[in-house]
A and B are shown apart, each in its own frame.
Chain A
Amino acid sequence: METMKFTSSNRKVRFSTGWTPPPRFVAVSSLLACCVASACRDAVAPAARIVPVAPVVRNVEPLPHSIAILPSTPLASVPLATYDMVEGVLVEAMIDGFVHVTSNVNASAVHVNDDVDYKGVYDFSMSGQCDWAATISSPQLSTPGFGGCQSAEPRYTKTQTWLDTLVLGGYGSNGVITARRGGGSGDPEYCSGGSLCHVVTGLQTVTLTPLPAAIRLTAPNRTEVAPKTILIPDPSTLPVNFTVSSTPSTYHGITVPRRALSWQWIPASGDSAQSTLACPLPPASSNSYTCAGYIYERGSVVVSARVNGVVQVDTMKVTGPQVQITLEKTSMRPSVLSYTGVLPAAVHNETQSVQVSVVDTAGHLIPNQTVRLALTATEGSAGHVHINGNLPKPPGTIPIIVNTGASGTVSTTFTAPEPSGPVWLKGSVSGTSSVMKKIKIEVPGLARYGPELGADTVGGVAGAHTDNHYATPAHIGRLAALVFMYNRQFPNGPRLKLNDSSLELGGLFDVNKDWHPDHAGHRWGNNTDVRTHNGSTAYLSQLQINAIQGIWMNLIGRGTQGIILHPVGGRVAPHIHLAY
């Protein structure tokens, strides 16, 4: 076996000898030292070879064949295929047949009266040009090229079929593959006596046959404990490098082209994803087929990739002993802690029971396991734009260490924090895996409102709480009624300025960015401030304030609402606080 790899501008060409030809092919192997056809002079006639029958792999249908009839006309170009894949397509390429050249006796550059193969005829007058050669042209690649015809007599060869394995196409968006004919001879069209110097007839068939290849997702350097299954890795050995390859991975030493299109981590049922696949897709003009995964729990890696031009999906399962956390509920309301200004009756803890266990690969409980629990609130969430490393967002409370005991399961209690937003509960066992569960702290059912109510919505503070107009639908309805009646009463009056209601998910509205309840009433989406002043200047008249009072207390949801006036000179900017 003779093998050589040739690389030119991301294109690989493999030439080999010693193959067993299939019945329909008479194969040739040629070694071309360069791919610029016109510069090649020392081509070696290919030896016969056999093209192996492509293995049938998982019923993957390769791209369809492309066949073109290349006429004898000099410089003819016939489209073959379009492979707009960055990574290209691995094909078996074939040029089959001859052109027949009949030369006039007076022709000086070329004298042929015979069939000529894809290499054409050596032309002395054109500095060694191979007249009427045939080739396959792809971006950055032309093969077998327009060179390689033999200079020695008879200056041409008669190989029935040229056959080779190539990566074609791609390279950005320019993936057009063509079959092309080289130029004619250096003789004039007509020789002395008025006859054509050369009469060229016949056709050659050019065929591209994309090779079948099935996607194969692997994790090199990780042991597969079962087919397509690896164990949860020791965190100290992360990341896990996942690679897309194929079956077969190569043809004649040429790697099958592949390009990842998407990566996804799907945690096992009941587990929340703490694992990440930090694998952004590459730009359109470049290639990628690996991904570094930080895997902490059971689940599966799912990759979608294009393998030799065909989009396919593969998975790899990750399993192993693991902490299991079972929540009573994944969403709960925030707690209200005791502070000055908070009504004692409103103070209470929101809690839920959390079951903790450790299971082996088969899912059986392992008793007496010490599990470390940790809570992390998601910074920047639920409308709290302010992030201060010195004042981390409160995540609630839970015992930091529990033991699963003889039964293998321990029950503990999680207490919700005051601010809303996702809280992550992580359970880990030393030296093995860990798991994370997300608990969404929220006042459910709040909706956003805006100027469509007919009032100005004001008070968002950059870097603190920019989105401050969430409320219950009932409260929004009352505000809308208030604004409607106010505007009807004062069609030319100042528009109402609605300041803080609640944040996106309700909960603590720490107006001073310190996780303290300065805005104690603005937790549940049923309190809204209405500005009465611009700074120290009155914005609303007493008549207008009376109207707000009359509307809110008499006309809207009577029996449930409340009203407070924060006068000028108070601790906070003057405003009317509307409740319920």
Chain B
Amino acid sequence: MRFLPIALFAFVATDLSAQLPGTRLTVAVQVNSIAVRGDTSNVAYILSNSAGSQDSLFAFIVNAPARVSSIPRPQPDSVWMTDSLIHESEPAAFWSKLDLLAPSSSTAPIFFESVGIPGIVDEWVQGHWPIPTCCDDDPPGVGEDVFVTRTVQGKTAGVEPWPSDRSAQALLARLKTLTQASCASPLLWISDGTLCTQLVADLDAAEAYRASSAFAEARATMDLFSNRLNGSDPGTFAPGVTSQAFWLLKSNADIVKGTL
């Protein structure tokens, strides 16, 4: 397992006190692992509520366009509630820590599975907001979409449906796009520009080998691509590489290599 002790903050609020309860928090969404077995991808996250948060973390939602095939309740399961839901016509994985995750706290790994390929997806963190109290028995004037009013949205590595073209050429092209997105704003999951250039060059070389049927050379190039993401010590990432970038690109590189 690789671990990068640097949390990537999904959002950093400039003035948390001015925001609605539920959004006054900063949560690092760390990808703890991505494992691909056959057609199924398993993604694990660790959530860390920062010390500067005012709200405790209540819920975490990850877009799962490939649908959720499994989302076990983390331990202790008495305080975790999991489910899948539909958000804007797309499935999503849902975790709620019923006993709340206080600031300066982290969760154990939580994970879900989908039949799909690792990709870049939306995620939302929701702070706990006290239920409005009312001295009279009047209903809320209108319903409240907590995804709008009580959550903070970001991006993370998740699972998306397999593309219709699963050829090595198509998957290489897709990985190049993911790499470029990881290197570019707004994600900036890889902050080392030189590394980004090398990664893209590796993919171009692998494609050239593949096109000339030099598959061994192509596979070796994909190994080089993956190795560039590793840190100097086991379980660490290369400098400037986040957990999202590492697991997203590494897992996709393995998939591409398997097609060559």
Q: Can you list 30 A-B contacts (CB < 8 A)?
A: A341-B138, A342-B138, A343-B138, A489-B81, A489-B98, A521-B138, A522-B137, A543-B78, A543-B98, A543-B99, A546-B96, A546-B100, A549-B131, A550-B58, A554-B61, A554-B94, A554-B96, A558-B85, A558-B147, A559-B143, A559-B144, A559-B145, A562-B143, A562-B144, A565-B130, A565-B131, A567-B133, A570-B135, A579-B143, A580-B139
Contact, CB under 8 Å: A550 / B85: no
CB < 8 Å neighbour of B139 from A527, A550, A567, A571: A527
Q: Looking across the interface, which residue of chain B has its beta carbon closest to that of A521? A: B139
B59 contacts the other chain (CB 8 A): yes
Contact, CB under 8 Å: A558 / B99: no
A576 contacts the other chain (CB 8 A): yes
From A553, A563, A564, A577, residue with most partner B Cβ within 10 Å: A553
A485 contacts the other chain (CB 8 A): yes
Instruction: Report the Cα distance A508→B260, complex, angstroms.
Output: 71
A462 contacts the other chain (CB 8 A): no
Chain B residues whose C-beta falls within 8 Å of the C-beta of A565 in the assembled complex: 130-134
- Give residues 119-175 of B contacting A (CB, 8 Å): 126, 128, 130-148, 150
A26 contacts the other chain (CB 8 A): no
A345 contacts the other chain (CB 8 A): yes
Instruction: Report the Cα distance A519→B138, complex, angstroms.
Output: 7
A237 contacts the other chain (CB 8 A): no
Contact, CB under 8 Å: A560 / B131: no
- CB A186 to nearest CB in B, in angstroms, measures 97
A354 contacts the other chain (CB 8 A): no
B6 contacts the other chain (CB 8 A): no
B79 contacts the other chain (CB 8 A): yes
A284 contacts the other chain (CB 8 A): no
Please count how many residues in chain A sit with their CB below 8 Å of the partner chain's CB atoms: 41
A351 contacts the other chain (CB 8 A): no
- CB A346 to nearest CB in B, in angstroms, measures 8
Contact, CB under 8 Å: A562 / B79: no
In the complex, which range does the number of interface residues on chain B fall in?
35 or more
CB < 8 Å neighbour of A485 from B83, B128, B147: B83
Instruction: Report the Cα distance A412→B190, complex, angstroms.
Output: 75
A224 contacts the other chain (CB 8 A): no
- CB A558 to nearest CB in B, in angstroms, measures 6
- CB A574 to nearest CB in B, in angstroms, measures 10
CB < 8 Å neighbour of B144 from A343, A561, A567, A571: A561
The proximity string for B residues 225-236 relative to A, scoring 1 for CB distances below 8 Å and 0 otherwise, is 000000000000
Contact, CB under 8 Å: A550 / B137: no
Closest 6 CB pairs of A and B: A562-B140, A521-B139, A560-B143, A559-B145, A565-B131, A341-B136
Chain B residues whose C-beta falls within 8 Å of the C-beta of A558 in the assembled complex: 85, 87, 145-147
- CB A315 to nearest CB in B, in angstroms, measures 53
Q: Looking across the interface, which residue of chain B has its beta carbon closest to that of A564? A: B134
- CB A344 to nearest CB in B, in angstroms, measures 10
Chain A residues whose C-beta falls within 8 Å of the C-beta of B136 in the assembled complex: 340-341, 520, 571
Contact, CB under 8 Å: A580 / B137: no
Contact, CB under 8 Å: B135 / A571: yes
Chain A residues whose C-beta falls within 8 Å of the C-beta of B98 in the assembled complex: 489, 543, 546-547, 550
A114 contacts the other chain (CB 8 A): no
A238 contacts the other chain (CB 8 A): no
Further contacts, 14 of them, CB under 8 A, given A521-B137, A546-B96, A562-B143: A342-B138, A485-B81, A489-B81, A518-B137, A527-B139, A545-B131, A546-B99, A549-B131, A550-B96, A553-B144, A559-B148, A567-B133, A571-B135, A579-B143
Contact, CB under 8 Å: A564 / B145: no
- Give residues 530-580 of A contacting B (CB, 8 Å): 543, 545-547, 549-551, 553-555, 557-567, 570-572, 576-577, 579-580
CB < 8 Å neighbour of A579 from B61, B79, B100, B139: B139
Chain B residues whose C-beta falls within 8 Å of the C-beta of A554 in the assembled complex: 59, 61, 85, 94, 96, 126, 146
Chain A residues whose C-beta falls within 8 Å of the C-beta of B144 in the assembled complex: 553, 559, 561-562
Known: A546-B58, A547-B96, A576-B131. A564 touches B83 (CB 8 A): no
The proximity string for A residues 287-309 relative to B, scoring 1 for CB distances below 8 Å and 0 otherwise, is 00000000000000000000000
Chain B residues whose C-beta falls within 8 Å of the C-beta of A576 in the assembled complex: 131
Instruction: Report the Cα distance A343→B73, complex, angstroms.
Output: 41
Instruction: Report the Cα distance A562→B126, complex, angstroms.
Output: 16
Contact, CB under 8 Å: A563 / B131: yes
Instruction: Report the Cα distance A345→B144, complex, angstroms.
Output: 17
